[in-house]
Amino acid sequence: MAIGEYTESTDSKLISEEDSIYTKILNDIARGKLVSGDRLVTTQLAKQYNTSINPVREALKQLQGEGFVTVLANSGSRVTKFEFHTMRDVFEILALLEPYLMEWFINEHTDEQLDTLKIILKQMTDLSPSDFVRYRELDAEFHASMYSHHYNKRAYGMWCKNRLMLQAFHANLGFSVRRFEQSLVEHQDLLTGIENRNVDAVMTTLNKHIDNSGQYWSKHFQ
């Protein structure tokens, strides 16, 4: 595959392309159209998504089971309020899963998969810090395009769920220029290490990438 010809596959997306009410609501949460604490009224959502009430109820029930929606007595359904301890737990889970998923990719990746990473990183580089929503989508695609090839689909599924929670929390949190530039360097270092199949270098960069993201999130959350 030549550089510039990348077409995103469904497998490398955190949210499938399936045109269901569930995916529409989840997309709106991940992109910050529905934010933490927002009330989710079934009649309003049904009108918004041009559907009946039952599919909305089923979608909210599924999202509740996955931790994206909270149902409280006398309050109805709301987008989950992602508190500090929740996001701390998410970061710790990702810090455990990513090295496991990454190590396999370093050793097993193909040239075509490497070209995919180069294209995504080029798209990230072409953005500005103000394009933080699109940057985070591409960031997620960058990692998903590696981890989705892992044989352990349960581990990959767990990563997707927690990454989506992270993305939902970060949806309206902008980048400083410094963090934006730092993140790009970290991704380039990951790509270089993967291309050289240098496990130690990639793991060092990945741990730094996770730590820096966690520190930036924690500072702004508090």
Tell me the HSE value of 188 on the side-chain side, using a 13 A CA sphere.
10
Amino acid letter, residue 172: N
Amino acid 27 reads N
Q: What is the pTM of this model?
A: 0.79
Other C-beta atoms within 10 Å of 118: how many?
15
Per-residue model confidence as pLDDT tens digits over 156-199? 999 998 888 887 777 777 788 998 999 999 999 999 999 999 99
Q: State both tokens at 78.
A: 């709301």
Domains and CATH numbers, the chain: 21-79 (1.10.10.10), 83-221 (1.20.120.530)
Give CA–CA dist 75/168, Å, rounded: 21
Single-letter residue type at 179: R
Q: What is the pLDDT of residues 37-57, one digit of tens each?
A: 889 999 999 999 999 999 999
Confidence class for position 150, pLDDT limits 50, 70, 90: very high
N residues, the chain: 222
Whether the CB-CB separation of 144 and 14 falls below 8 Å is answered with: yes
Q: What angle do CA 110, 165, 37 make, to 5 degrees?
A: 160
Q: Are strands 76-79 and 39-40 parallel, antiparallel or unpaired?
A: antiparallel
The DSSP code for 103 is H
Q: Which residues, at least 6 apart from 4, have a Cβ–Cβ distance to it below 8 Å?
A: 119
